Structure 1
Amino acid sequence: MALLYVVGIGPGNPDYVVPRGLQLIKEAPVLVGSERALADFAQPHQITYAIKGSLSDLVHWIKEQLGEHDVVVLVSGDTGYYSLLPYLKKTLPDQPMEVIPGISAMIFAFARIQEVWQDADLLSFHGRVPPEEALRYEPHRKLGFLTDKVHNGAAIAQILHDHGWPSDCRIVGCERLSYEDEHIEELTIQSMSQTTGFEHAVIIAFAHKN
């Protein structure tokens, strides 16, 4: 029976994909991923499917391909961190599957600014809103957020301020991580609330230590 492989491609640059993942991507007869991922990884001989519409249509197409070929699905970041994996497991419960982890954009962002994440609360504004209690201000807190077009850097900074975070707290925006045009900017919550950009990015906020 054909196998379904779910491969985390990290922040995007092939340099940060684990060797097992790169091998599977290179040898895949069928490759599924975002348009950007396919532009970076697809080979001319491969059958490809760009994820940009209905997920039910995607799963139907994958089922058809699995009748003849193994299929490799590329997911950004890590397979276990807000990826397509739960949906694939739910809709293809009996399908033999192998999952290859990657480096999440969140962890990559912490590494880029030379900070540890072991004491951080990792949350997401990407298509969702964290619970109110998760946003409260307390000294020594460290929060990491995934963002989207609605909840960009400015919106998240304002939300934090509304939850008691002082306007002079340090906040770092990280976008286009691992690419040549990578952009990392360290600001205060006040200045971030007046900044454009940082959509589909990572925001890291630091409370005062006392």
Structure 2
Amino acid sequence: MWVTYGLIVIYCKINTEDGNMIYIVGIGPGNRNYITIEALNTVKNSEVVIGSKRALKNFEINGEVIELTKNLKLELYNFLKEHLKTGNKKNVSILSTGDPCFSGLLKTVLDFDFIKKEDIEVISGISSIQYAASKLKISSEDYRILTLHGKEENLKKLLECVKNKEKVIFLPNNIKRELGYLINNGVSKDITATILENLSYDNEKIVTGPICNLINENYSYLLVCVIN
């Protein structure tokens, strides 16, 4: 099964007693050129492929297509529950943008009460964090890496890191609100950050400047932010 969530190419395999396969495959940062050969082949050979419209268009699909909407988690839960209950032996691929192991669908699937951890195998690919580091020519091991996707509690961790002058790479949830939170909680408005938008796509954009300027721009949801 394939899943669209996050910024990497990953594939998880769930073996069931009925013999069917469920694959969770990330699609990398977004551009087809960054999808692994294994991911492409797995989707091509699956009888059911599930993912967002943006993810689905990057693959050659021979089986049934199920497009996920904003209710991704519920739709995925209901499908997998019914799929396993009926003993369907079709191979299923779930597409996931981003790394399923970081702000991705691995945690989502493992949280389902009918999925066991030992049933899953993961094959990782290129995440947006990795891609961003390569574009900026920085070593990600020198940075604190955080996600704010559904992680409101990490906003305080971000503030703490910046105040402690730690280098940070984070996935924003609402970049304008989050930069405003930093400024409103004592971070200098002149601190420099880099915002990387639509990574690997034709409209990729990288902007560096003081956060007081960056906060006034409009951005898409596909972002990585780096604070040195």
- For normalisation by structure 1, the TM-score amounts to 0.85
* 2:131 aligned with 1:108: yes
User: 1:47: which partner in 2?
Assistant: 64
- Distance of 1:198 and 1:173 partners within structure 2: 11
User: 2:110: which partner in 1?
Assistant: 89
Is 1:4–1:71's contact at 8 Å kept on the other side of the alignment?
yes
Q: How does 1:123-162 map to 2 (within 5 A)?
A: 123-129=146-152, 130-136=154-160, 137-138=162-163, 140-148=165-173, 151-152=174-175, 154-162=176-184
- Distance of 2:98 and 2:163 partners within structure 1: 29
Bigger shift: residues 180-189 or 64-73? 64-73
Q: CA 1:124–1:72 in structure 2 vs 1: closer, same or farther (change >3 Å)?
A: same
How big is the shift at 1:140? 4.3
Unpaired runs of at least 5, structure 1: none
Unpaired runs of at least 5, structure 2: 1-18
Q: How does 1:6-45 map to 2 (within 5 A)?
A: 6-43=24-61, 45=62
User: 1:68: which partner in 2?
Assistant: 89
Sequence identity (%)? 27
Q: How does 1:197-208 map to 2 (within 5 A)?
A: 197-206=219-228
User: 2:9: which partner in 1?
Assistant: none
How big is the shift at 1:174? 0.9
- For normalisation by structure 2, the TM-score amounts to 0.79
User: 2:3: which partner in 1?
Assistant: none
